[in-house]
Amino acid sequence: MKRILASILALACPGDADPQNTVLVEAEAFEDVGGWVIDQQFMDLMGSPYLLAHGIGIPVEDARTTVEFPRAGVYRVWVRTRDWVAPWNAPGAPGRLQLVVDGTALTTTFGTEGEAWHWQDGGEVRVGLSAEIALHDLTGFEGRCDAIVFCQDTGWTVPNGKDELALFRRKALGLADRPEVTLEYDLVVVGGGVAGTSAAVTAAREGLQVALVQDRPVLGGNSSSEVRVWPQGHVNQKPYPRIGDVVMDLVPERREDSRNAQNAEVFDDDRKLRVVRAEPNITLYLERRVNEAHAEGGRILSVTAQHVRTAVRTRIRGRWFLDSTGDGAVGFLVGADHDVTRTGHMGASNLWNIQCLCEDEDPLSSVLEEACELAAFPRCPWAVDLTDKPFPGRTKGAKSPETGGGDKPISLGNWFWESGFDRDPIEDMERIRDQNLRAMYGAWDAIKNVEKRYPAHKLNWVAYIAGKRESRRLLGDVILTAEDLRDGREFEDGCFPCTWGIDTHFPDPAYQGGHEGDEFIADYTRGEGYTYEGPYWAPYRCLYSRNIDNLFMAGRDISVTHEALGAVRVMKTTGAMGEIVGMAASLCKRFDCDPRAVYAEHLGELKTLMMRGAGRSAAEGASEE
């Protein structure tokens, strides 16, 4: 395993710490993260990306780095971590880990104390001028480490308050007080799901200089191999058959197994990157999370993105901005009018699948051949206790397949494994993701150890990136309602085709008992009252903010009601929104105007672009930051 010098610096700490005797090591900055994964999803909440031991029951390989110390001697050590099942008072602290310094593990076991992110005291350690440190996962069950601090000043404790901690990090990492500043782009797209990527490609093909900012190393959002949702909806519909051309450039070739939660190749991350990189007008900012924005007089001037591994900040300037984060993150930062359904909204899912160890078998078969290897799985007393409770995929008490259940492997880990219906979809998100994981581990424990089924199967893949369905919706000049869809209300600026039913989710009553408040299986609205005649062309005025003049929206954070979101949220539809935004942004540039004026003064020109479409590939490559 490669040993690397991490970006570790001995610098000034706030409080009483002596600048010459304190070292901060950011876990995500370990150059060799071993089997750990970098999780940036909650960094706005708990202050930083962190390393997660997502081994689905098998301890992951150590993460390693070399630390240089300002002087040899004895240091007190803290590890920022938490017991991730503590919110449920669940026993066993499954996310246990050790810190190994020069080959010797500290006696403290980390990840065992309390639900909040905190600095767990690891006692003292003697080091020379440099030491190799390793994060050693003890369980394979989602242990987490944000950072490590070594300090010689025994009277000092590491700050944990949001602002203090941010200041401490900045100083300790030697980060500049001011971010790097870019030139001004025509369009800055924040969020590289299908919506944002389609917008970036369309705008670039229309000749705009575009920045595309995405907080993961891949594009596609829920349709990436990290989340594995297959894009649905219909595009290329009359009277605008070219709307959808860019979307279909991005969507992978359909195969027999093009369904949710299948293997990574189905979701073809490279394809999306290839399409974007073929556009010379796009500058792609991967692994950058926007967490600050500057606006004046109702206009955004720039957004600031933080690199997920290095913490370096870049201020990205632009004339027009697109919020395609799903969460309305940019709009929220600049005070855009928005709405959130606080309780009774759609939840989030962490899809998963299982695999048979018998190579000759259908991977989803439950038949055990004699030659098969047995796959043991430990009891999980800290998971949701499903010993005697029904869930989809279980022999007893499972619902019929058409309502999302069924006694089939495909029922395990599919879209209806969903939680967080009544929890804040931003503030409670780590808890929501973790509840999905607890439900999944509880189900697999019950199947393997109580029912004793699937003896030769293992958990094969589990998303640690949550697939989100609903959070903030930014408000535009029109707020599309389900009534509009049902009544077939025509808008003169109808521009993206909706074809999906009015499909919202709620806790499935068949599986609710005993889990009230923490339900993890969903049902969906369907049948009479939830259909409409499609394609329904939804209005352009849902795609820009009503109070931030240069802000577009595309994706699940557009201007719709909770119910209408059920129809517009599928990804070919969100991609079509992106195409429209790309075209509208080009008109903003051509006529030196803002999104609202495209409706008020240039709707004819927008329709001309919609007839023409943007489905052609450019010859040269994009630049990458």
CB atoms < 10 A from the CB of 385, how many?
16
Write out the binding residues for ligand FAD, residues 324-343 only, by CB under 6 A.
324-327, 329
Q: Contact, 65 vs 32, CB < 8 A?
A: yes
Among 42, 230, 352, 377, contact with ligand FAD (rule: CB under 6 A) = 230
Task: Tell me how far, at minimum, the Cβ of 64 lies from ligand FAD, in Å.
Answer: 27
Residue 415 near ligand FAD by CB under 6 A: yes
Closest CA to 607 of 540, 542, 562: 540
Stretch that binds ligand FAD, among 227-235, 243-251, 313-321, 524-532 (CB under 6 A): 227-235
Among 213, 437, 609, 610, contact with ligand FAD (rule: CB under 6 A) = 213
Among 62, 215, 249, 549, contact with ligand FAD (rule: CB under 6 A) = 215
Residue 34 near ligand FAD by CB under 6 A: no
Q: Omega of the bond prior to 409 within 30 degrees of 0, cis?
A: no
Write out the binding residues for ligand FAD, residues 447-476 only, by CB under 6 A.
467-469
Q: Contact, 381 vs 90, CB < 8 A?
A: yes
The three-state (H, E, C) secondary structure of 518-557, written as one string: CCCEEEECCCCCCCCCCCEEEEHHHCECCCCCCEEECCCC
Which residue number, 137 or 523, has a Cβ lying nearer to ligand FAD? 523
Residue 222 near ligand FAD by CB under 6 A: yes
Site string (179-198) toward ligand FAD, x via CB under 6 A: -----------xxxxxxx--
Which residue number, 85 or 348, has a Cβ lying nearer to ligand FAD? 348
Which residue number, 157 or 291, has a Cβ lying nearer to ligand FAD? 291
Residue 497 near ligand FAD by CB under 6 A: no
Residue 99 near ligand FAD by CB under 6 A: no
Among 216, 394, 457, 602, contact with ligand FAD (rule: CB under 6 A) = 216
Task: Tell me how far, at minimum, the Cβ of 216 lies from ligand FAD, in Å.
Answer: 5
Stretch that binds ligand FAD, among 4-12, 149-157, 321-329, 471-479 (CB under 6 A): 321-329
Among 81, 419, 504, 574, contact with ligand FAD (rule: CB under 6 A) = 574
Which residue number, 29 or 351, has a Cβ lying nearer to ligand FAD? 351
CB atoms < 10 A from the CB of 305, how many?
27
Residue 349 near ligand FAD by CB under 6 A: yes
Write out the binding residues for ligand FAD, residues 527-556 only, by CB under 6 A.
555-556
Q: Contact, 231 vs 570, CB < 8 A?
A: yes
Residue 571 near ligand FAD by CB under 6 A: yes
What three-state secondary structure class fits 128?
coil
Total site size for ligand FAD, rule CB under 6 A = 38
Look up residue 17 and give its amino acid: A
Report which DSSP code applies to 560: B
301 vs 438: CA distance, rounded Å: 42
Among 38, 93, 266, 290, contact with ligand FAD (rule: CB under 6 A) = 290
CA angle 183, 550, 495 (to 5 degrees): 120
Look up residue 343 and give its amino acid: T
* Length of the chain counted residue by residue: 625
269 vs 81: CA distance, rounded Å: 31
564 vs 479: CA distance, rounded Å: 9
CA angle 229, 346, 466 (to 5 degrees): 45
Q: How far is CA 578 from the centre of its chain?
A: 19
Strand partners, 539: 494
What three-state secondary structure class fits 481?
coil
Token pair 């203090």: residue: 164
Longest dimension (CA), the chain: 75
Which residue number, 62 or 418, has a Cβ lying nearer to ligand FAD? 418
Which residue number, 25 or 521, has a Cβ lying nearer to ligand FAD? 521
Residues that bind ligand FAD (CB under 6 A): 190-196, 213-216, 221-222, 229-233, 260, 289-290, 324-327, 329, 349, 351, 415, 467-469, 555-556, 569-571, 574
